[in-house]
Structures are given as C-alpha cells and as structure tokens.
Amino acid sequence: MSVVAIGNFDGVHTGHRELLAEAQALAPELPLVVLTFWPHPMSVVRPEGAPKLLSSLQRRIELLRDAGAHEVRVVHFTRDVSRWSPQDFVEKVIDPLRPRILVVGENFRFGYRASGTVETLRELGRGHFRVVSLPLLHVDGADTCSSLIRKAVREGDVVLARRQLGRPFRLSGVVVMGDQRGRELGFPTANLDLSDDLEVPADGVYAGWLTRLDLPDAERWPAAISVGTNPTFDGEERRVESYVLDRDDLELYGVDVAIEFSTRIRGQRRFDQVTDLVEQMHRDVDDVRAALALEGSAGEQ
C-alpha cells in the first residue's frame, strides 16, 4: 500500500511541497509515491503552446525527494498516453501503485482531452482508494502555480519567483567556452550551456550565486550574472554568463554548476564604447555586492 501524489510538479514550488507534506501527514506509516509526467503534456498535445520549464527532469526528481517522496514514478507522456481515457489512466498507472490514498490539487485533470476531474477520480477509485484534493496555496495574495512563476522569470522578476518557489530560481549546466571577452575586460565569466526547453530570466544583469555541483559541500560564491546577447559586440546568441566576485583564479570549463538568481540589477544595454561598458560593469559589481549583502542581512533578522 502507498500514498500517491500526482501532478506535473514543474519547479516543485511551495504549493507542490505543501501537497506532498499533506499527503505524508494523511498516512505517515505508508511510503509516499509521487507520480509526474515527462515531457510536459502540452509539448505532446499542442507543441506550439508548450511552456518553457522551470527545471530539468533530474532536478525535479531531486526536489521531489527532498520534499519527502520515497519514490518518484515518471510517466513518459506520449501521443498514445494522451488518448487514454480516465479509466485507462487509472487502470494502467494508478492501480499498480496500490494506493490507499490519492492526493491531487483541486484543479487536477487527466485522461483524453483532460476530460477526467477530481470527481471522476473519486468515482473510478470508489472501493479501492480514497481521493483527497487540496486547494491551491496562496502566497502574497496570488495562487501559487508554475505558470505564474514562469511568467515572473520570463519578465526578470526573480524576487517574485523566489517567493513563489520558496527558494531562488536556479539554472544549472556545464560551463563551456565563450568568446573569453570577459576575461579580457577584467571580468572572467562562466558561460552556461543550457537546454532549450528551460525558462530563462529576461535579458539583464542579476545578483546571484554560483555553486559547483561536482564537489560535495562546494562553496557558494556571490556572482554577477549577465543574461543576453552582448549587444555592445553585436552578439546574436543569447547567453547566461556569471562573474564570481573578486575571483579570477577559477577554472570551471567542463564543470557542472548551478546559478541562483537573487534580484535583477538592470536591463540589457548597448554601449557605444567598450570603456563605457567596463565602467558600467564595475558599477554592476558594486550593485550586486550591495544587493547580496542586503539579502544576507535580511536573512539574519
């Protein structure tokens, strides 16, 4: 027997973690099995409307386990799966997990053309498992949901994203070689190789943190993060580059790193002279340092 929580769980935000906590509390003696979907169902049924994601599948599983999942089951969402009736879904996916209790959000939909509702689930599970639906969590007067967080990230409002996620928005990937222009200007940067299906903050400069993921208990370094195309140099490729404050001795090529976004310092700008850019970069670093110091002092209160 088990307690099963079902959802897409993109980003594993505060609402998702609340759902998992409630699921655990309903039957703490049973293992908590979390059922999620990959790829995002929208990318299969309506690819042109598919959203960018808040985290990779690997990161999602990691966050779900951190939130209390004993086991994470991933449903590989295909065109065939999208055509399953609600009854097919219950028989093929839910019943094998032998749930005593099934926990979902109140807006949960499943089956062909999202025809199944929470009430459908209750009818199909009658005599086999109990269905508990939970309302959406409210943070700062807004319903916490992945679409709201994606929009905040896309618009550069990483502070709002952090409040809704319950942690800083994070990107991770391998550091690859860029133009090495930052080093020439006195600000060597780590250029991140990112998956195209991930949401990325709006172009601009951000205060944040960089952490190596290849070392246990790796130090978390303060960083100035640039997102954009480097218009001063007529760049076309959109990049995420991080300068670790006061460090020019780091060798990070080929290293898997995580970047956390704390706050946006400014939008992207084009400079007529490289000297003007360098002067602005010095100001950016000062602003980043001040923003992170303020964040640290707020956390200590």
- Within this chain, do residues 73 and 138 fall inside the same structural domain, yes or no? yes
Q: By residue range, what is the domain housing residue 26?
A: 2-143
Rounded Cα–Cα distance for residues 89 and 21 (Å): 25
Q: Does a structural domain hold residue 280?
A: yes
145-159, 165-179, 191-205, 285-299: segment of lowest average pLDDT: 285-299
Please report, for the domain that includes residue 223, its CATH number: 2.40.30.30
- Within this chain, do residues 123 and 51 fall inside the same structural domain, yes or no? yes
- Within this chain, do residues 115 and 202 fall inside the same structural domain, yes or no? no
Pairing status of strand 190-193 against strand 239-244: antiparallel
pLDDT tens column, 268-300: 999 989 899 999 999 999 999 999 998 876 655
- Within this chain, do residues 28 and 133 fall inside the same structural domain, yes or no? yes
pLDDT tens column, 3-26: 999 999 999 999 999 999 999 999
Inter-CA distances, 251 with 177, 255, 256, Å: 11, 9, 12
Please report, for the domain that includes residue 56, its CATH number: 3.40.50.620
Residue identified by tokens 């990049």 is: 239
Percent of the chain with pLDDT strictly greater than 90: 83
Q: How many domains does the chain have?
A: 2
Residue 301 above 50 pLDDT?
A: no
- Within this chain, do residues 80 and 211 fall inside the same structural domain, yes or no? no
- Within this chain, do residues 124 and 239 fall inside the same structural domain, yes or no? no
Of 126, 143, 160, which residue sits at a domain end? 143
pLDDT tens column, 217-265: 888 999 999 999 888 887 778 999 999 999 988 989 999 999 999 999 9
Is the Cβ–Cβ distance between 44 and 31 less than 8 Å? no
Supply the pLDDT for residue 184. Answer: 74
Of 104, 126, 143, which residue sits at a domain end? 143
Of 128, 143, 158, which residue sits at a domain end? 143
- Within this chain, do residues 29 and 84 fall inside the same structural domain, yes or no? yes
- Within this chain, do residues 99 and 211 fall inside the same structural domain, yes or no? no
DSSP code string of 127-142: TT-EEEEEPPPEETTE
Listed residue (278, 272, 54) closest to 147, CA to CA: 54
Distance of CA 245 to the CA centre of its chain: 25
Please state the rounded mean pLDDT for residues 75-96.
97
Q: By three-state DSSP, how is residue 152 classified? A: helix
Please give the angle made by the CA atoms of 113, 115 and 120, to the nearest 5 degrees. 155
Q: Does a structural domain hold residue 163?
A: no
Supply the pLDDT for residue 185. Answer: 81
Supply the pLDDT for residue 237. Answer: 86
What average pLDDT does the structure give for the chain? 94
- Within this chain, do residues 255 and 181 fall inside the same structural domain, yes or no? yes
What is the pTM (predicted TM-score) of this model?
0.93
Q: Does a structural domain hold residue 135?
A: yes
Q: Does a structural domain hold residue 221?
A: yes
Percent of the chain with pLDDT strictly greater than 70: 98
Please state the rounded mean pLDDT for residues 180-192.
83
- Six-digit token string for 3: 């307690």
